[in-house]
């Protein structure tokens, strides 16, 4: 056994050296035995890779003969048995002396990539209030992989916090419509009316209750201030007219549902009412 990123432990050390440590860096556990021929092939390969990866993961070796209860706890039935831990939990595993190429491919599912590390650095920069550095890092990731969802959603969130809704939507444009992406898109559309004069719009609507354009503007302004229930009431009122503004009102309501989530009481109530209008 060699290398600063390789340790040999027994059961009493497992909680600290593996489980606790895996909150900071992925830990790969090699369950092995002296008499096991394949272990003598795989073990040195894992040690070499631990040194090569230079701290991107840590390798912990556990002799199953000396730690039978621990091996049973993790369901070790054949050796070598390799298990990765991340965030205090088992993350991936394999059995047998795989070829180096397959072990490297397996490690790619465990070890953060260069792009992942850049995103982690960007999130740290955001927490430190260094938005410029965070934006620089995230944009660099997207220049390399324009549809990297984690980078794009992080950048969109940064722009939304700055009130730059247009750039947030641009960052999200290349992405497939996952739940998080759609939530952020809806948030960007809804908060685009932030700063509108709700009192003035309310007065204008009171003067002309049939003015659908003003009612929609008021709904958007309320939604931008997270006054979702009155906003939904205004959008629903327009939708019930089933005129040329119906799709506009429907889209605004759907955006609110995306932001609140499908199980929110307002989403459940108003989605049913919108459905009764549409169908």
Residues forming the active site: 36, 39
Cα separation, 53 vs 3, in Å, equals: 11
Question: At a CB cut-off of 8 Å and minimum separation 6, what does 197 contact?
Answer: 221
Residue for token digits 């040195």?
44
Note the maximum CA span of the chain: 89
Q: Kindly report the number of other CB atoms within 10 A of residue 41's CB atom.
A: 14
Q: Kindly report the number of other CB atoms within 10 A of residue 275's CB atom.
A: 9
SS3 assignment, position 82: strand
- Closest by CA to 239, choosing from 276, 196, 264, is 276
Percent helix, percent strand, percent coil in the chain, to nearest 5: 65, 10, 25
What's the number of CA atoms in the CB half-sphere (13 Å) around residue 145?
A: 14
Structure tokens at 27: 């830990």
Work out whether the CA dihedral 178, 184, 186, 189 comes out positive or negative: negative
């Amino acid at each position: 056994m060699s290398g600063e990123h390789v340790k040999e432990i027994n059961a009493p050390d497992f909680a600290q050296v593996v489980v606790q440590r895996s909150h900071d860096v992925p830990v790969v556990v090699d369950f092995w035995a002296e008499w096991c021929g394949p272990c003598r092939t795989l073990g040195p390969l894992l040690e070499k890779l631990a040194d090569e990866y230079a701290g991107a993961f840590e390798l912990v070796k556990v002799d199953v003969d000396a730690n039978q209860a621990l091996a049973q706890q993790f369901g070790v039935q054949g050796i070598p048995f390799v298990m990765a831990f991340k965030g205090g939990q088992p993350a991936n595993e394999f059995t047998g002396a795989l070829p180096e190429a397959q072990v490297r491919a397996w490690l790619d599912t465990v070890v953060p990539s260069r792009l992942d590390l850049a995103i982690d650095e960007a999130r740290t920069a955001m927490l430190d209030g260094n938005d410029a550095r965070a934006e620089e890092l995230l944009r660099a990731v997207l220049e390399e992989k324009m549809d990297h969802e984690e980078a794009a959603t992080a950048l969109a969130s940064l722009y939304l916090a700055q009130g730059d809704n247009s750039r947030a939507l641009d960052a999200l444009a290349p992405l497939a419509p996952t739940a998080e992406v759609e939530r952020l898109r809806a948030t960007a559309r809804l908060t685009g009316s932030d700063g509108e004069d709700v009192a003035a719009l309310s007065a204008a609507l009171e003067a002309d209750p049939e003015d659908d354009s003003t009612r929609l503007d008021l709904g958007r302004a309320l939604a931008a201030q997270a006054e979702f229930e009155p906003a939904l009431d205004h959008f629903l009122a327009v939708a019930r007219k089933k005129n040329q503004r119906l799709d506009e009102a429907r889209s605004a309501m759907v955006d609110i549902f995306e932001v609140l989530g499908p199980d929110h009481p307002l989403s459940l109530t108003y989605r049913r009412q919108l459905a009764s209008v549409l169908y």
